[in-house]
């Protein structure tokens, strides 16, 4: 069966415009009641990676969340909002700062939504997910469209990783550090927690070394909505200028029959994809392509490494990277952070949480020589 998604232009975050365009995106799919039962309890999960303001392009913009809450209140839903940010580390109080700085706390106060933390969990087969999934009737994911150093893109499916409770995210990075294995975990989470509806904030997106301070905000002026996260992410991949199956978690989820990745199986309401004419995104360093023949690249890949490199002059010694590192292979010395590369698994969680873009991805000499 074909998947239905909507793709709507929304140039900026002014409240009236977001309300109108978000309503349009959902109405084109049949309206909010097609996905959400009136009077139900709904968990809304934005992407709140770290304590960054709305205009950073790093977090889901609070105005999108606000207008979604209002739509839900119109059908008498009780709204719960929460996320499990990367900066959690060992300190749950870090989440308060994320909620404050991202603007989500204020939106919840204004709109009467309950803001919660994902500290209580229920173990699924391989990972614990927040119990708020059990306590709510519906999940609505409000993702942010960004490039991602480790997974290439973050959108609908990757946003669900934030449902993993507390420090277990770090454990998953440690235990499933190969990209293919991590893609399987993301598909597992999507199988466990299928949102009733996903909205994607692609008004201010991100390209380059996303998903955090090392990436470059990129104005796209788009909102997407739909139920099939594979289809939504496949359309994001097309917008970025890559093939959907280049993204391992899309490949994995599509292979399990969790959604459609082929454009001819996705009915897009609203804008035509071809008509957008988006310039291809700058890709993360670790994902860049070469013009060399594929067999040569495959051979060379075994010798190629990407690794985090500290920019010590920018480092403010906040220790966020040390707390986030699943391998505990970063230490702080007088001059700043140092990495034990013999232990590093190149997950780039350290780069993801650095508030001042003081960690860059470096390529090994061979990677540079062959133009990767």
Provide DSSP, 120-150.
SEEE-SSSEEETHHHH-SEEEEEEEEEEETT
Site for ligand SF4 contains 195 (CB under 6 A):
no
CB proximity list for 365: less than 8 A, separation 6 or greater: none
Site for ligand SF4 contains 346 (CB under 6 A):
yes
How far apart (Å, rounded) are the C-alpha atoms in residues 188 and 186?
A: 5
57 versus 310: smaller Cβ distance to ligand SF4? 310
Site for ligand SF4 contains 339 (CB under 6 A):
yes
**Residues of this chain, 292-321, that bind ligand SF4 according to CB under 6 A:** 308, 310, 315-321
206 versus 337: smaller Cβ distance to ligand SF4? 337
Task: For the beta carbon of residue 116, count every other beta carbon within 10 angstroms.
Answer: 20
Q: Which one of residues 36, 247, 349, 367 is an interface residue with ligand SF4 (CB under 6 A)?
A: 349
Site for ligand SF4 contains 327 (CB under 6 A):
yes
**Taking contact as CB under 6 A, which single stretch among the options 10-18, 248-256, 274-282, 324-332 is the one that binds ligand SF4?**
324-332
In angstroms, what is the minimal distance from the CB of 39 to ligand SF4? 44
262 versus 328: smaller Cβ distance to ligand SF4? 328
Q: Which one of residues 28, 358, 367, 372 is an interface residue with ligand SF4 (CB under 6 A)?
A: 358
CB proximity list for 164: less than 8 A, separation 6 or greater: 84, 118, 127, 128, 129, 130, 172, 189
Task: Say if CB 273 and CB 239 are below 8 A apart.
Answer: yes
Pairing of strands 41-46, 114-117: unpaired
8 versus 286: smaller Cβ distance to ligand SF4? 286
In angstroms, what is the minimal distance from the CB of 351 to ligand SF4? 7
**Taking contact as CB under 6 A, which single stretch among the options 9-17, 23-31, 261-269, 322-330 is the one that binds ligand SF4?**
322-330
Task: Say if CB 210 and CB 47 are below 8 A apart.
Answer: no
How far apart (Å, rounded) are the C-alpha atoms in residues 291 and 177?
A: 27
Could you tell me which residues are beta bridge partners of residue 330?
339
How far apart (Å, rounded) are the C-alpha atoms in residues 345 and 178?
A: 8
Q: Which helix (H) or strand (E) holds 80?
A: strand 78-83
Site for ligand SF4 contains 325 (CB under 6 A):
yes
Site for ligand SF4 contains 359 (CB under 6 A):
yes
Site for ligand SF4 contains 89 (CB under 6 A):
no
Q: Which one of residues 18, 354, 367, 372 is an interface residue with ligand SF4 (CB under 6 A)?
A: 354
105 versus 317: smaller Cβ distance to ligand SF4? 317
CA contacts within 13 A on the Cβ side of 222:
29
In angstroms, what is the minimal distance from the CB of 92 to ligand SF4? 19
SS3 65: helix
Site for ligand SF4 contains 29 (CB under 6 A):
no
In angstroms, what is the minimal distance from the CB of 183 to ligand SF4? 17
In angstroms, what is the minimal distance from the CB of 99 to ligand SF4? 20
240 versus 347: smaller Cβ distance to ligand SF4? 347
166 versus 310: smaller Cβ distance to ligand SF4? 310
**Taking contact as CB under 6 A, which single stretch among the options 100-108, 239-247, 275-283, 356-364 is the one that binds ligand SF4?**
356-364
Site for ligand SF4 contains 337 (CB under 6 A):
yes
How far apart (Å, rounded) are the C-alpha atoms in residues 44 and 141?
A: 6
Site for ligand SF4 contains 330 (CB under 6 A):
yes
Task: Say if CB 230 and CB 143 are below 8 A apart.
Answer: no
Site for ligand SF4 contains 50 (CB under 6 A):
no
Name the H helices within the chain.
Answer: 15-27, 62-74, 93-101, 104-111, 132-135, 168-175, 179-192, 229-240, 248-255, 273-276, 294-301, 320-324, 349-353, 365-369
Site for ligand SF4 contains 212 (CB under 6 A):
no
Residue numbers at the binding site for ligand SF4 (CB under 6 A): 308, 310, 315-321, 324-327, 329-330, 337, 339, 344-350, 353-354, 356, 358-359
């Amino acid at each position: 069966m074909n998947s239905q998604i909507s793709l709507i232009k929304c140039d900026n975050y002014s409240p009236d415009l977001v309300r109108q365009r978000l309503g349009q995106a959902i109405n084109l799919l049949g309206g909010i009641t097609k996905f959400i039962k009136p009077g139900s309890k709904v968990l809304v999960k934005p992407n709140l990676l770290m304590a960054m303001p709305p205009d950073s392009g790093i977090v889901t913009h609070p105005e999108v969340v606000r207008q979604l809450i209002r739509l839900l209140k119109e059908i008498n839903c009780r709204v719960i909002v929460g996320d499990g940010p990367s900066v959690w580390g060992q300190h749950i109080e870090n989440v308060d700062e994320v909620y404050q700085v991202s603007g989500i706390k204020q939106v919840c106060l204004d709109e009467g939504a309950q803001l919660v933390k994902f500290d209580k969990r229920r173990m699924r087969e391989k990972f614990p997910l927040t119990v708020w999934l059990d306590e709510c009737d519906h999940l609505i994911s409000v993702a942010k469209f960004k490039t991602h150093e480790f997974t290439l893109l973050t959108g609908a499916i990757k946003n669900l990783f934030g449902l993993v409770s507390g420090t277990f995210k770090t454990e998953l990075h440690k235990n499933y550090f190969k990209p293919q294995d991590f893609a399987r975990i993301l598909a597992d989470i999507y199988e466990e927690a299928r949102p009733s509806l996903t909205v994607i904030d692609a008004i201010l997106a991100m390209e380059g070394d996303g998903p955090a301070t090392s990436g470059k905000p990129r104005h796209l002026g788009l909102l997407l909505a739909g139920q099939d996260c594979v289809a939504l992410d496949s359309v994001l991949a097309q917008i970025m200028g890559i093939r959907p199956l280049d993204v391992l978690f899309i490949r994995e989820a599509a292979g399990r029959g969790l959604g459609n990745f082929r454009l001819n199986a996705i009915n897009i309401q609203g804008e035509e994809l071809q008509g957008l004419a988006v310039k291809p995104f700058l890709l993360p360093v670790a994902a860049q392509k070469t013009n060399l023949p594929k067999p040569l690249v495959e051979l060379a890949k075994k010798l190629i490494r990407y690794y985090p490199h500290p920019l010590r002059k920018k480092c403010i010694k906040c220790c966020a990277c040390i707390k986030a590192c699943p391998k505990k292979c970063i230490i702080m010395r007088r001059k700043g952070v140092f990495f034990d590369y013999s232990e590093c698994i190149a997950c780039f969680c350290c780069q993801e949480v650095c508030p001042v873009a003081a960690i860059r991805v470096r390529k090994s000499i061979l990677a540079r020589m062959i133009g990767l």
